[in-house]
Structure 1
Amino acid sequence: MSRGDDVEQAKGSSSSQDGVAFPRSSSPTSHGGEPGARHARTRTSSSARRRSLQAPILDPHSSTGASAQSPLAKLGIKGDGLMLFVTCFASLGVLLFGYDQGVMSGIITGPYFKSYFGHPTSYQIGTMVAILEVGAFITSLACGTLADILGRKKLLFVGALVFSTGGAIQTFTTGYGSMVIGRIVAGFGVGVLSMIVPTYQSEISPAENRGRLACIEFTGNIVGYCLSVWVDYGCSFLSGDISWRLPLSLQVIVGLILAFGSLLLPESPRWLLDHDRDEEGMRVLADLHGSGDPTAERAKLEFREIKENVLFMREQGERSYRAMWKRYRYRTLIACSSQACAQLNGINLISYYAPLLFEAAGWVGRDAILMTGINGIIYVLSTIPTWFLIDRLGRRVILMSGALMCALALYAVGFFLWIDASYTANAVVGSVIVFNGFFGYSWGPVPWMYPAVSLALAFRAKGTSLATATNWAFNYIVGEGTPVLQDLIKWRLYPLHGTFCLGSFVLVYYCYPETMGVPLEEIDSLFNDKPSSVPQDDSDSSGDEEAAETRPRRPLRRSISSHPRFEDDSLRAARKAARAHEREVRRQQRGGIVPGFVKRLFGPSTRPQVGEYEPVRGDEH
């Protein structure tokens, strides 16, 4: 059967569904959908071809019906519970590379480790620690294409297995060479996980809670780092090589848990719809947004919005890295710069070499690891307030305030090391704690979120892979150069990174838009690109063709919950009155005691204009 016949048959079999009309004209092409899958319904006219997208009717007896539910959904884990479970379990992926980043910081100061590797030089230590980033850089670039081919779920499984293999090589290493090989292989796995986990999480999460779920995920990364430090501290009381082999072996166990546990997770609905596996995608959307009910209004609306965006992106043609750079250069640069700034702001200067820093400040041997462990606990706690602030204050305010405080903390570290007073040891610990606290609240979680939400679906995996590769490239530079620079310029290294923090403040202020609460299908409008015209009403496709073509551009919606489908007349009237009141209050406050530059500094981004959208309110959640 031809694709056209299949479409006409699908139209006839589902005419009872509500339709939504769209003005653009093109014929979508298949992206490898399974035979017999129900695709988007299309119809043509003499002037233009219009689409009428309808959520598929799921047959509970078909291969894509109830029997195709994920194991978690079959166990009754659906809706918000499924969303939270997926986020927490996927966080094991970022926990792994957080653990791997921290585990080396403790064992490289241990006497048995130094003796086994012949008391390595600072250059050898830097290479051993930072070589992981080389492997991560390579695979994070390759995964941009692999994620679109294999899917998010399969790539998560592969990344966890590769990471476990690298951890096993490190655990049973026989010398410096095999340790470096093990670090590279583990880096391959880290590159996959660090790219695919944020992409998968962003495509699963609803817009109004995406920030919070991403921050919960990042907390998993810091829990991994903190856990590694305390494992190092506990194993420092052991005698022999087991004191450093045991910490390395634990990452193998966690990696295998993630690999086989990922088989329980649902596939990204956006990837499924992009590959014309519409019924499977609808099943996932029903589990996530309809508590398993495929007739739930929100689940059907999510389907239509995502599918419309898929078809719109197919009209644009090529989906290569070159096309992404040509069409979305500004957005790609934002995604990459956020990751670069996160590394240049000094986090790995602290995370990788905190024990060496504390030794330089006066804490010797096991005490240096203990101080690192205490610092790690505070680091974890600092990430929790962001869960509740990220979808209220927005991304820009958090990034800018974090950059300022991190800069002050790093300048303080350099100052106290320079004066070398009797209180230097305690002052350095305090300054490092302040730095980690504000980094964990700001530049830790947010840069992992920006790449995944800044690009359109067709380029999301590639854009995230490029941003992640940027992360690991700068990660390598910092990791390789830190021990050498500590020997050469000593305390001056910390003010240097403090200056980078100030630079990131300026970058965010002038260049970064506010993405708080914006649905992924609305990102084009946020960046003033051509929007994908997601439906704003429930009009049937049989409406006036010419009226649809001349429909005025709608405002950007901040949450799918604000769609008119989910409002009644009284609620709509109440919101209209509230907006009028807010405008009057703002008008009366103009020219008040707050300086204008303060309002501009912590106000919304100038891209787009404030009048184009409204902030998410609590009653929309």
Structure 2
Amino acid sequence: MGFKFEKPPMYLWYALFVSQAGLLFSFDTGSIGPITVMDQFIKDFGHISPTLQGVIISTILLTAAISSLFAGHLADKISRTYTTSLGAGIFALGSVLQAIAGLGTTSVRAKLAVLLLGRSIAGIGEGFFLTSAQVYIIEIAPGHVRGRVTSVLFIAMTTSLCLGYFMCYGTARIQSTMAWRIPFLWQAAVASSLSFGSIFLPHSPRWLLHVNRRDEAMVVLEKMGMGTAAEREKQALLAIRENLATQEDNNRGIKSILSAFRSLKLVANKRNRWRASLGIFMMICQQTTGIDGVLYYAPVLFSQAGLSSQSASFLASGVTAILMVICTAISCTYADRWGRRPTLLYTGYGIVLSMFLIGGLYASPNANTTVGKWTIVAAIYLFVITFTIGWSMILRVYAVEIQSMETRATVNSLSHSANWVTNYIIALTTPVFLARSACGPYFFFGGCTAFALFIYILYMPETQGIGSLENMDKVFEITPLKKFGKTIKERVGRPGNGTGSVLPSEFEMQVC
């Protein structure tokens, strides 16, 4: 019997193309920190203080947070694909401005103004394309492989993060301003590709039903090649069609701003607010682990840990990125086998352990010993591994997939905005925080993660194995805390030894 090659379904190819959004997002994360410490960059822009470094790095996050507030509503109105195209085009413009900063002028102030303007514009585009791209991929993926299909976005993120570090490691050897301009030019090229190509992508079937274009939705489902999964998706989509169509009829003729307020009202109603609050909270807590503080300032952190040369710091940062690629691949392989809840909880314990270990070493004299320095480096790697396996991909998938169709894009934009605002604060303050206290940031990040774990234990139900996105309503009928209380109440009230005091079994006491 000969080997038979099975052609990948079209929805996977579409997901791979849209995953360029992840390339752009993480490439900037991986490259901007190394760029600001390049000798060629410092020669052009002068000595960079910790505060100025924080401003340069975090500017893109502030404007991304603002634009992402409108991304969900825009994605509902003009589609996920067109919003992605618009955002990528804006990002390309911002990247070009960053690449040409300093040309034709010797004024450091003028150079900084163009650089910051470019990062501000790029942030506006990032807020649009990243949120809409993630919703698009989740909505086109069949339920039984949603975790693995969505993982292509996160593989792109970690791969591009690695590429950002190593591209800067290579271009740093160029003895001209091209050393720091090339990464920005690469971003502009990828963003242009995403912007142009997204125009020709088929719309999300769920969005087509959302705007009452049922026939097109059925055609797209077949075009995406979901096979037997397509029929299951059809039934789920048809079940919600009438409700969505009615919503659209009610909105017809109402001004866009009023429709946006209606979306926020839907988020706040009793049926949706628990899921919306949990999704937003999770995206905030993803940043309070300190991950982007580590990624943006990896060269600084490794230098502080004892790797003094620029090459050694860059190389250590690149090893961090390689670890993230490997761990993302592991997470993607088992995304639909491991439970969402246990994966987030167990990796969360690893994050807390690594952060408290680093903080404790810096608070003691051992940080200055050879063993202490290498233990800190190992703990940074432990943090990166545990974060990437759990909180990098699975947390983002969970925060989006638990939302109802009517609020998914809106909540996703709100949660990304909250994520970027938190990221902005951390990116802006981390270098100043590190300059004043070597241990303080790590204790802070570890404490925030411990608090998040406590909330997850009480209020985060398991969603692994839920086929259709529309079935999430049943999952969120009762919180793990209420389920635990109900189990205790039923067990205590059950006839046993005559006292009604029989304790629940070990299995029943699991809050999962």
Given candidates 298, 305, 311, the residue that maps to 2:236 is 305
What is the CA-CA distance between 1:399 and the residue it aligns to?
0.5
Query: For the residues of structure 2 that align with 1:150 and 1:476, how far apart are their CA atoms?
Result: 28
Query: Which residue type is aligned with residue 258 of structure 1?
Result: L
Query: Which residue type is aligned with residue 359 of structure 1?
Result: S
What is the CA-CA distance between 1:517 and the residue it aligns to?
2.6
Given candidates 328, 334, 341, the residue that maps to 1:396 is 341
Matched, 1:503 2:451: yes
Deviations 1:231-278 (A, max 9, x none): 010011111211111122111111112222223422100111121222
Query: Which residue type is aligned with residue 335 of structure 1?
Result: G
Query: Which residue type is aligned with residue 398 of structure 1?
Result: T
Partners of 2:36 and 2:48 within 8 A in 1: no
Matches for 1:129-208 after TM superposition, within 5 Å: 129-174=57-102, 175-208=111-144
Match of 1:392, SS state, is coil
Residue in 2 that maps onto 1:527: 476
Query: For the residues of structure 1 that align with 2:225 and 2:36, how far apart are their CA atoms?
Result: 47
What is the CA-CA distance between 1:300 and the residue it aligns to?
4.5
Matched, 1:209 2:145: yes
Query: For the residues of structure 1 that align with 2:236 and 2:158, how far apart are their CA atoms?
Result: 35
Residue in 1 that maps onto 2:106: none
Query: Which residue type is aligned with residue 117 of structure 1?
Result: F
- With over 3 angstroms needed to count, the CA separation of the structure-2 counterparts of 1:99 and 1:298, relative to structure 1, is closer
Partners of 1:137 and 1:470 within 8 A in 2: yes
Structure with more helix by fraction: 2
- With over 3 angstroms needed to count, the CA separation of the structure-2 counterparts of 1:298 and 1:354, relative to structure 1, is closer
Residue in 1 that maps onto 2:499: none
Query: Which residue type is aligned with residue 346 of structure 1?
Result: G
Given candidates 392, 417, 422, the residue that maps to 2:370 is 422
Residue in 2 that maps onto 1:384: 329
Bigger radius of gyration, 1 or 2? 1
Deviations 1:45-88 (A, max 9, x none): xxxxxxxxxxxxxxxxxxxxxxxxxxxxxxxx998521221222
Match of 2:439, SS state, is helix
Query: Which residue type is aligned with residue 306 of structure 1?
Result: L
- With over 3 angstroms needed to count, the CA separation of the structure-2 counterparts of 1:254 and 1:323, relative to structure 1, is same
- With over 3 angstroms needed to count, the CA separation of the structure-2 counterparts of 1:290 and 1:207, relative to structure 1, is closer
Query: For the residues of structure 2 that align with 1:252 and 1:475, how far apart are their CA atoms?
Result: 23
Query: Which residue type is aligned with residue 373 of structure 2?
Result: A
- Please say which of residues 370-379 and 383-392 is displaced more in the overlay: 383-392
Residue in 1 that maps onto 2:173: 237
Matches for 1:262-277 after TM superposition, within 5 Å: 262-277=198-213
What is the CA-CA distance between 1:287 and the residue it aligns to?
2.1
Partners of 1:236 and 1:366 within 8 A in 2: no
Matched, 1:253 2:202: no
Query: For the residues of structure 2 that align with 1:598 and 1:492, how far apart are their CA atoms?
Result: 38
Match of 2:203, SS state, is coil
Query: For the residues of structure 2 that align with 1:244 and 1:596, how far apart are their CA atoms?
Result: 62
Query: Which residue type is aligned with residue 443 of structure 1?
Result: W
Query: For the residues of structure 2 that align with 1:198 and 1:436, how far apart are their CA atoms?
Result: 22
Gapped regions of structure 1 (runs ≥ 5): 1-76, 292-296, 530-594, 606-621
Given candidates 320, 342, 350, the residue that maps to 2:294 is 350
Gapped regions of structure 2 (runs ≥ 5): 103-110, 252-261, 479-502
Deviations 1:2-22 (A, max 9, x none): xxxxxxxxxxxxxxxxxxxxx
Partners of 2:142 and 2:233 within 8 A in 1: no
Matched, 1:322 2:253: no
Partners of 1:98 and 1:221 within 8 A in 2: yes
Q: TM-score, normalised by structure 2?
A: 0.85
- With over 3 angstroms needed to count, the CA separation of the structure-2 counterparts of 1:154 and 1:412, relative to structure 1, is same
Query: For the residues of structure 1 that align with 2:131 and 2:286, how far apart are their CA atoms?
Result: 15
Given candidates 468, 480, 492, the residue that maps to 2:416 is 468
Residue in 1 that maps onto 2:303: 359
Query: Which residue type is aligned with residue 339 of structure 2?
Result: G
Partners of 2:283 and 2:396 within 8 A in 1: yes
Match of 1:237, SS state, is coil
What is the CA-CA distance between 1:598 and the residue it aligns to?
7.4
Query: For the residues of structure 1 that align with 2:47 and 2:100, how far apart are their CA atoms?
Result: 19
- With over 3 angstroms needed to count, the CA separation of the structure-2 counterparts of 1:503 and 1:133, relative to structure 1, is same
Identity of aligned pairs, percent?
Answer: 28
What is the CA-CA distance between 1:354 and the residue it aligns to?
0.6
Partners of 1:358 and 1:425 within 8 A in 2: no
The total of aligned residue pairs comes to: 458
What is the CA-CA distance between 1:222 and the residue it aligns to?
0.9
Query: For the residues of structure 2 that align with 1:214 and 1:290, how far apart are their CA atoms?
Result: 15
Matched, 1:339 2:339: no
What is the CA-CA distance between 1:290 and the residue it aligns to?
5.0
Query: For the residues of structure 1 that align with 2:378 and 2:190, how far apart are their CA atoms?
Result: 32
Partners of 1:223 and 1:380 within 8 A in 2: yes
Matched, 1:432 2:380: yes
Query: For the residues of structure 1 that align with 2:339 and 2:223, how far apart are their CA atoms?
Result: 28
- Please say which of residues 416-425 and 165-174 is displaced more in the overlay: 416-425
What is the CA-CA distance between 1:504 and the residue it aligns to?
1.7
Matched, 1:219 2:150: no
Residue in 2 that maps onto 1:108: 36
Given candidates 196, 213, 216, the residue that maps to 1:280 is 216
Residue in 1 that maps onto 2:389: 441
Match of 1:458, SS state, is coil
Matches for 1:572-587 after TM superposition, within 5 Å: none
Partners of 1:332 and 1:455 within 8 A in 2: yes
Q: What RMSD in Å do the two structures reach over aligned CA positions?
A: 2.2
What is the CA-CA distance between 1:494 and the residue it aligns to?
1.0
Residue in 2 that maps onto 1:369: 314
Partners of 2:212 and 2:244 within 8 A in 1: no
Query: For the residues of structure 1 that align with 2:178 and 2:226, how far apart are their CA atoms?
Result: 50
Partners of 1:152 and 1:267 within 8 A in 2: yes
What is the CA-CA distance between 1:496 and the residue it aligns to?
1.6
Query: Which residue type is aligned with residue 469 of structure 2?
Result: L
Partners of 2:11 and 2:226 within 8 A in 1: no
Partners of 2:331 and 2:389 within 8 A in 1: yes
Query: For the residues of structure 2 that align with 1:599 and 1:238, how far apart are their CA atoms?
Result: 61
Matches for 1:590-605 after TM superposition, within 5 Å: 599=507, 605=512
Match of 2:202, SS state, is coil
Matched, 1:489 2:437: yes
- With over 3 angstroms needed to count, the CA separation of the structure-2 counterparts of 1:599 and 1:79, relative to structure 1, is farther
Query: For the residues of structure 2 that align with 1:604 and 1:215, how far apart are their CA atoms?
Result: 27
Query: For the residues of structure 1 that align with 2:293 and 2:137, how far apart are their CA atoms?
Result: 28
- With over 3 angstroms needed to count, the CA separation of the structure-2 counterparts of 1:81 and 1:377, relative to structure 1, is same
Partners of 2:351 and 2:446 within 8 A in 1: yes
Q: TM-score, normalised by structure 1?
A: 0.70
